[in-house]
Chains A and B, each alone.
Chain A
Amino acid sequence: MPAHFFKSKQTLKEWVLQISLLIGLGLVFVWLGHQTWMNLKSRGIQSGFDFLFDPAGFDIGETTWIDFDSAESYWVAFAVGLLNTIKVSSLGIAFASLLGLALGLAASSKIWVLKAICRTYIELIRNVPLLIQLLSWYVLWVEYLPPASDPLILLQSLFISQEGLSFSGWVWMIPINGTFMDGHLWWNTPVVTPDGVQSALNASPEFLSILMALSVYTSAFIAEIVRAGIASVPKGQVLAAQSIGLKSAQVNRWIVLPQATRLILPPLTNQYLNLIKNSSLAVAVGFPDLVSIGNTALNQTGRAVECITILMLVYLVLSIVVSFLMNHLGHGFAFKK
């Protein structure tokens, strides 16, 4: 609670007003909850969150970090969906930021061709609906890439096919008789077989489509934010920096970007929040994110109010956490008084 809250001299009238507003709001929510409960009851729709501890009974095609078995309960299924959402969102935020920063810098450059290319990219990407871009990426992966028995191989370590991407890398596991068991670091190399690519490190086309769609789409907005942030730094400062002999990269690194960041961060936070929420489109291409799992749970159990409530709360918490982190980061860049 801010310190001035106590210091401010509020009159009794103001106190009464504010408290009654709070009570009024509370009553509205209680009334809504009660109405919902009564309506569900009168329509013979069973309700409650008890179903979360029942066995889910459905499989999830793709999991992150934890394995899922259909005998596990619904809440584990929700957790798996959440982890998938977190995976695609965090990677999406990382790629969108890098791409957006590069594009923003390029769009601010003096080289005309570079600038024109970036402008075209930005305008093209941000004006086409995300869902259409997502479906296009997906069609591109599954329709136009070679089958897994004959993949496109880049640098002997990236295997690209209709069934996704397999790549070389270290894995903290060793296979023993087909079961995986903790072991030492082990170098994974994909192997092409007639049945497809065998590899411990894979990314499915569903995951790649949603990741690429989110990264590319959001990068266009971030690029604009970066460009605006850079443009806000007075030209005199750049000239001054150049006059003391800094190179162009140094000017960016030490003079322009630190100042631009202060302006960039708040709208950037919005973009990150948008990206997280947009990741719910994953269901369109069959990636089992939180919404996809929620949909399935909703349909297996018929608990629509409960499932939608869980979805809303989880996205709310995710968004609050991200904006908290970003605000915290923002304090580091603020002008120190």
Chain B
Amino acid sequence: MIQKITFGLLCMVLSLHCFAGKTLESIRQKDQISCGVNTGLAGFGAADSQGKWTGLDVDICRAIAAAVLGSAEKVRFVPLSAPQRFTALQSGEIDILSRNTTFSMTRDAAMGLHQTAVTFYDGQGFMVPARLGIKSAKQLKNATVCVQSGTTTEKNLTDFSRANKLDVKPIVFEKLEAANAAYFSGRCKAYTTDASGLASIRSREAKNPKEHVILPDLISKEPLGPMVRRGDDEWFAITKWVIYGLLEAEEYQITSANIEALKSTSTDPAVMRLIGKSDDMGKLLGLDKEWLAKSIAQVGNYQEIFERNVGEKTPLALKRGLNALWSNGGLQYGMPIR
């Protein structure tokens, strides 16, 4: 990790042009988007045995690649640990950071980064072995808790511990894999990270997922989404609007399965705008008319992405909950594309 951060710092110190001017231009030139993702968090960003990346965060990058370059395959995935991720983005090693990253004021205001749109509303939770019979996070007095460094999690844990006088003892690991190993070997009484992350780790790493329970308490708000560098409003707008577009597509029930049919049959002006059959919305972003249609056709709308990666039929078995559309009682609200 030090090498990556040092590389990033060298870029800044020497003012080498580690990234050249406008992100969109350089992406077109490379014909590829560099997307920073998790090193291995099932459902969000993980490579399978063939080296193919899957996950919700991964699909967001693919959707953007489809909108910008016409193909969802034109993405180079760069796996990053939590401490590496911001330096990688600041230094220009990646074009977009889509790695279950929490939006917060410090990150938005002081680190030269822009938060785009929330792709997953989450909250920090705890996982404990079922045999301990713990029912609430408030029972974790003096407990050792495994946590990954470089996350908002560390600070939330401390806040929660102070507020409830729990005096928990954090054991902080740089790598997710090491934190997982320490928890499952019994070194820590509890494991803390975003609730979705816990579900992912439980489904993929536990010998028997039933032996571990995720406690109902959520101790923080964790709005997760992609980040981009500051100073490039054009690229910022593209990432934001592709995400809103995927949400809008769900709202208007445009899916990867029906989009071809809709292109010839739909008469709904909103749908026609989204799939590039009437107004040219793409040119406002410097993209072509079918920008969003390509994303939807190749990756699917938000619902498809959600269900494919983390939904109830996946090992993570997450309900839509806060991530349902606003019209279904959730928080996901695609800004209107018009």
Footprint of B on A, CB under 8 Å? 32, 35-36, 38-40, 42-46, 57-62, 70, 135, 138-139, 142-143, 147, 162-163, 205-206, 283-286, 288, 291-292, 295-296, 298-302, 304-305, 308
Minimum CB–CB distance from B116 to chain A (whole Å) comes to 16
Minimum CB–CB distance from A303 to chain B (whole Å) comes to 9
User: Is the beta-carbon distance between B12 and A284 smaller than 8 angstroms?
Assistant: no
User: Is the beta-carbon distance between A299 and B82 smaller than 8 angstroms?
Assistant: yes
User: Is the beta-carbon distance between B186 and A59 smaller than 8 angstroms?
Assistant: no
User: Is the beta-carbon distance between B144 and A301 smaller than 8 angstroms?
Assistant: no
**Could you list 11 further interchain pairs (A-B, Cβ under 8 angstroms) beyond the known A292-B172, A299-B151?**
A35-B13, A57-B155, A58-B158, A61-B172, A283-B149, A283-B174, A286-B146, A291-B2, A295-B150, A304-B87, A308-B6
Which of B21-29, B107-115, B302-310, B323-331 contacts its partner? B107-115
User: Is the beta-carbon distance between A308 and B185 smaller than 8 angstroms?
Assistant: no
A to B CB contacts below 8 Å, 5 in the list: A61-B170, A142-B186, A298-B5, A300-B155, A301-B110
Contact code string B87-117 (vs A, CB < 8 Å = 1, else 0) = 1001000000000000000110011100000
Q: Which of A42, A58, A142 contacts B231 (CB 8 A)?
A: A42
Tell yes or no: B251 within 8 A of A by CB.
no
Distance, CA A61 to CA B143, complexed state (A): 11
Contact code string B105-143 (vs A, CB < 8 Å = 1, else 0) = 011001110000000000000000000000000000000
User: Is the beta-carbon distance between B158 and A59 smaller than 8 angstroms?
Assistant: yes
Q: Which of A43, A60, A162, A206 contacts B112 (CB 8 A)?
A: A43
Q: Which of A39, A44, A162 contacts B15 (CB 8 A)?
A: A39
Q: Which of B5, B13, B178 contacts A285 (CB 8 A)?
A: B178
Which of B161-169, B199-207, B273-281, B284-292 contacts its partner? B161-169
Q: Give the residue name and chain of the B residue nearest to A302 (CB).
A: B111
Q: Which of B154, B178, B230 contacts A296 (CB 8 A)?
A: B154
Residues of A within 8 A of B170 (CB): 58-61
| Number of residues of chain B lying within 8 A (CB) of chain A | 50
User: Is the beta-carbon distance between B8 and A304 smaller than 8 angstroms?
Assistant: yes
Contacts A162-B186, A308-B9: A44 and B231 contacting too (C-beta < 8 A)? yes
User: Is the beta-carbon distance between A162 and B187 smaller than 8 angstroms?
Assistant: yes
Q: Give the residue name and chain of the A residue nearest to B8 (CB).
A: A304
User: Is the beta-carbon distance between B181 and A139 smaller than 8 angstroms?
Assistant: yes
User: Total A-B residue pairs with C-beta atoms closer than 8 Å?
Assistant: 133
Distance, CA A301 to CA B14, complexed state (A): 22
User: Is the beta-carbon distance between B149 and A295 smaller than 8 angstroms?
Assistant: yes
Residues of A within 8 A of B35 (CB): none
Residues of B within 8 A of A45 (CB): 90, 110-112
Q: Which 8 A-B pairs have the closest CB atoms?
A: A302-B111, A45-B112, A299-B150, A142-B187, A43-B112, A142-B185, A44-B112, A46-B110
User: Is the beta-carbon distance between B154 and A302 smaller than 8 angstroms?
Assistant: no
Minimum CB–CB distance from A278 to chain B (whole Å) comes to 13
Distance, CA A300 to CA B146, complexed state (A): 18
B157, B171, B229 — which one has the most chain A CB atoms within 10 A of its CB? B171
Distance, CA A45 to CA B90, complexed state (A): 9
Tell yes or no: B83 within 8 A of A by CB.
yes
Tell yes or no: B175 within 8 A of A by CB.
yes
Minimum CB–CB distance from B12 to chain A (whole Å) comes to 5
Distance, CA A298 to CA B23, complexed state (A): 26
Which residues B12-67 have CB closer than 8 A to chain A?
12-15
Distance, CA A268 to CA B13, complexed state (A): 35
Residues of A within 8 A of B154 (CB): 58-59, 296, 300
Residues of B within 8 A of A288 (CB): 172
Q: Which of B14, B82, B144, B174 contacts A35 (CB 8 A)?
A: B14
User: Is the beta-carbon distance between B161 and A59 smaller than 8 angstroms?
Assistant: yes
Tell yes or no: B159 within 8 A of A by CB.
yes
Distance, CA A190 to CA B270, complexed state (A): 72
Distance, CA A103 to CA B13, complexed state (A): 46
Q: Give the residue name and chain of the B residue nearest to A33 (CB).
A: B13
Minimum CB–CB distance from A192 to chain B (whole Å) comes to 17
Contacts A43-B230, A142-B187: A36 and B6 contacting too (C-beta < 8 A)? no
Contacts A39-B15, A61-B144, A308-B5: A302 and B158 contacting too (C-beta < 8 A)? no
